[in-house]
Amino acid sequence: MTPRVICLVAALAVFAGAPETALVAQSARVMIPDPSWNCGMPEGIPAPDTGRLIFEAEMKLAAVYNLGKTQYGNRRVAVVQDGTFTGPQVSGTVTAGSLDLELTLANGVIEVEQIFVLKTKDGKHIYLRSAGTGADAKDVRVVPDFEAGAAGDFAWLNAGKYGARRVLNAAAGTMTLRVFDVSGITTSAGAGNVIRISKPAGVPAQAWDYRKASPEEKQGNQLITERVTLSPSQSVGASKRGNRNIIPITGGELTGRLTGKVLFGGADYQNLSAPATIDARYLWQTNEGDVILVRNGGTFGSLVPTFEVRTDSSYAWLNTGRFLSSNPGPQAGGVGITMYDSTR
């Protein structure tokens, strides 16, 4: 039996034993993503399992939230409690609060975003943000993008080409991630060798970047105030996109036009290179039980929050409204933030 056949048999065995979402290499065909979510490989994503294994991560989940049908599709968010990763060149732990954001569209197409922080055995932090897609849950391909310290032992991760497989078992509260080097894989995008991802017509595309306010936008009526509790910073340092610093979010409370709490998970994924920017990703839960995915990003003095909540929620107006945010200000155990309607 050839090594490639052995790899495929092992992957299919994992699929057979997983009760929920098992993403395996059922085909060596190249996958062409939808242009709206191209995963950083618009030319096509090879089957990751045909590459060279970089590491395998095993994680326990703190929670899995089914937000329901949002403006983009059916959203599910998994929050990592802790985990480990092992590989021939890099090993360590997956830090608490790392996020897996999964979107399922009406035609079965899957889109995945993962925002992880890895801590190597020698104490270095690595920022890992991935995008993935698949025509259905049987073959989802994830494209990892690493930011490691440019002067450290793991700087080689910054320049590679990677693919990954993820298995999320909500019932068991676990997730695995296997990352492969796919730089040596030659793919052909001929008509008979392509899986082409097509999203349903009329569905808005989820954004990869945060919204940027136009110059004429001003702060209007107050939306909410929140107190956010934080863990100590996790510094990546100078890397390929600047000086990355992560401040994990552990909880908090919010008051105003909606009341509730800030859930454990996510972080402020700061870039401290000039002009310094914030890109906070985290979750609210209202007193009525609605879970809301929050993103608050931008340069200091120009922060813009956006929201994602189920479309039949009494808070669905958050999905289409325009809002602005104050800078975070120090409070006991974390920071305070006020958000406003945007006016012109």
Q: What is the pLDDT of residue 12?
A: 34
Q: Which residues of 62-101 are buried (b: 16+ CB within 10 A; e: fewer)?
A: bbbbebeebbbbebbbbbbbebebeeeebbbbbbbbbbbb
- pLDDT, one tens digit per residue, over 167-213 is 999 999 999 999 999 998 877 666 678 999 999 999 999 999 999 99
Mean pLDDT, range 140-146, rounded to an integer:
98
- Given a cut of 50, whether residue 54 has pLDDT beyond it is yes
- CA angle (202, 203, 206) in 5-degree steps: 145
Q: Contact, 318 vs 326, CB < 8 A?
A: no
Share of the chain above pLDDT 70, in %: 91
Q: What sign for the dihedral angle of Cα 21, 161, 46, 196?
A: positive
CA distance linking residue 159 with residue 296, whole number of Å = 28
- Look up residue 152 and give its two tokens: 């450290």
Mean pLDDT, range 250-269, rounded to an integer:
98
Mean pLDDT, range 76-85, rounded to an integer:
98
- CA angle (335, 338, 341) in 5-degree steps: 155
Q: What is the pLDDT of residue 22?
A: 37
CA distance linking residue 87 with residue 330, whole number of Å = 39
Q: What is the pLDDT of residue 192?
A: 74
Nearest to 326 by CA among 295, 303, 297, 310: 303
Structural domains of the chain sorted by starting position, each given as residue range(s) with its CATH number in brackets: 3-196 (2.40.160.20), 218-343 (2.40.160.20)
What average pLDDT does the structure give for the chain? Answer: 92
The model's pTM is 0.90
- pLDDT, one tens digit per residue, over 99-134 is 999 999 999 999 999 999 999 999 999 999 999 999
CA distance linking residue 73 with residue 311, whole number of Å = 10
Q: Contact, 306 vs 313, CB < 8 A?
A: no
Q: What sign for the dihedral angle of Cα 338, 321, 289, 293?
A: negative
- CA angle (193, 12, 25) in 5-degree steps: 25
Q: Three-class SS string for 119-144? A: EECCCCEEEEEEEEEECCCCCCEEEE
CA distance linking residue 145 with residue 156, whole number of Å = 12
